[in-house]
Every structure is written in structure tokens, then in C-alpha cells.
């Protein structure tokens, strides 16, 4: 039997590489991440654009992705241009519904890949709902009606712009047999 591992830390490590690969593939831009995973006391939705989604199954939790306006707009523009949309047909501001729709779709892709990677590595499965993307003017701290006692923050960059993924999960350990 192997040493137990706190599941949120293992999922966070997979999330770093999965989010990087999925975003680089869909935007054709370099995405980098911090080599430090932060343990945080809570999960918050922060301005300017945030996207959240719950997952449930063999492991349960919540993911919140917080983007600065510049990071969200850069990801949106790069994603749409990579799909062949002409520059003159792109949304003009981060407040446009097309931007939040695109961020929601990208979050859906990242979550789908994450769930697949965890299933492949640990033979555990979860399902996730439809990601919800919102533009915010101020932070909202989430009080989750579940026992999500573990929280982590992952930091990413696209160009000069940063964004963060915050994960809340129930305390579980993955013990490989």
C-alpha cells in the first residue's frame, strides 16, 4: 500500500498541467503557472470576470476561476482568433456576453479534461455542472453548504496578465492500493 495523499493537492497538481495544456491548445498562446500552490482559508469570486462550477462523484468540490479583465479578454480574443474569427467581429469589451460565454466554454473544456485525467490516474470519477461565468465589480466570498474544508489557489499567466483557479474540496485522501 502506498502513502496517502491529500486529494486536493493531487488534483491541484493535475489541474496546473491540464489547464495549461487546454488553454494553450485552445488559444494558441503560452500559458504559464506558478510552481507554488497556495493553501487558502476560503474561496472567493473576484473581479473582473469569474467562472464557477461544482463537481460531484467519487470526490466532491467547487472550482472558481478568477480573471482580471485583461486576462479574460486576452483569452477570449486568442480563443476566437484560433477558431478563425476575424478581428473585426470580436466583442469590444470584457462585459460583452460573448466573452463570458467563451470563458464558460473554456472552463467546461478544462473541467472535462481534468475529470478525465483523474479518472485515468486514480480510477475515480466525478461529474460537473454547467460552468457559470459572471462579470463582477467586487469580491464575493463563498460560504459553501458542504464540508469543503480544503482550499487551494493556483496562479497562471497569459502574456502579462494573470488569473487564478481556486479549488474547494471535502477533505479526502487518495490511497493507492
Higher confidence at residue 6 or residue 36?
A: 36
- The predicted pLDDT at position 7 comes to 86
Extract the C-alpha cell encoding 99.
466573452
Angle (deg, nearest 10), helices 97-122 and 7-27: 130
User: Phi, psi at residue 100, to the nearest 5°?
Assistant: -65, -35
Q: Does residue 95 lie in a domain region? A: yes
Residue 130 belongs to domain spanning: 7-144+152-170
Mean pLDDT, the chain, integer: 93
Rounded CA separation 19/65 (Å): 11
Q: Does residue 2 lie in a domain region? A: no
CATH of the domain at 109: 3.40.1550.10
Quick one: pLDDT band at residue 177, thresholds 50, 70, 90? Answer: confident
Across residues 82-91, what is the average pLDDT?
95
Q: Does residue 121 lie in a domain region? A: yes
Rounded CA separation 160/165 (Å): 17
Percent of the chain with pLDDT over 70: 97
Q: Does residue 177 lie in a domain region? A: no
* C-alpha separations of 74 from 24, 83, 140, 141, 146 in Å: 12, 14, 23, 25, 34
Pairing status of strand 140-141 against strand 44-45: antiparallel
Extract the C-alpha cell encoding 10.
493531487
Q: Does residue 176 lie in a domain region? A: no
Extract the C-alpha cell encoding 4.
496517502
Which segment of 2-11, 25-34, 159-168 scores lowest on mean pLDDT? Answer: 2-11
Higher confidence at residue 143 or residue 47?
A: 47
Contacts of 112 (CB under 8 A, 6+ apart): 128
- The predicted pLDDT at position 3 comes to 66
Q: Does residue 1 lie in a domain region? A: no
Q: Does residue 63 lie in a domain region? A: yes
**pLDDT tens digit sequence for 98-126:** 999 999 999 999 999 999 999 999 999 99
Total domains in the chain come to: 1
Q: Does residue 175 lie in a domain region? A: no
- The predicted pLDDT at position 171 comes to 87
Classify residue 163 as exposed, middle or buried by CB count within 10 Å of its CB (0-12, 13-18, 19+). buried
CB 101 within 8 A of CB 133: yes
pTM of the prediction? 0.92
Q: Which of 93, 70, 76 lies closest to 23 in space, CA to CA?
A: 76
Amino acid at each position: 500500500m502506498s502513502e496517502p495523499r491529500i486529494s486536493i493537492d493531487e488534483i491541484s497538481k493535475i489541474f496546473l498541467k491540464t489547464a495549461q495544456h487546454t488553454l494553450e491548445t485552445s488559444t494558441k498562446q503560452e500559458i504559464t503557472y506558478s510552481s507554488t500552490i497556495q493553501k487558502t482559508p476560503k474561496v472567493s469570486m473576484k473581479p473582473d470576470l469569474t467562472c464557477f462550477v461544482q463537481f460531484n462523484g467519487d470526490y466532491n468540490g467547487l472550482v472558481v476561476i478568477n480573471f482580471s479583465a485583461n486576462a479574460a479578454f486576452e483569452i477570449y480574443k486568442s480563443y476566437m482568433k484560433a477558431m478563425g474569427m476575424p478581428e473585426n467581429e470580436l466583442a469590444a469589451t470584457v462585459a460583452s456576453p460573448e466573452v463570458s460565454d467563451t470563458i464558460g466554454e473554456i472552463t467546461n473544456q478544462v473541467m472535462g479534461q481534468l475529470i478525465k485525467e483523474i479518472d485515468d490516474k486514480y480510477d475515480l470519477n466525478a461529474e460537473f455542472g454547467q460552468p457559470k461565468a459572471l462579470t463582477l465589480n467586487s469580491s464575493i466570498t463563498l460560504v459553501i453548504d458542504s464540508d469543503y474544508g480544503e482550499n487551494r489557489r493556483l496562479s497562471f499567466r497569459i502574456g502579462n496578465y494573470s488569473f487564478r483557479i481556486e479549488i474547494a474540496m471535502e477533505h479526502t485522501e487518495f490511497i493507492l492500493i
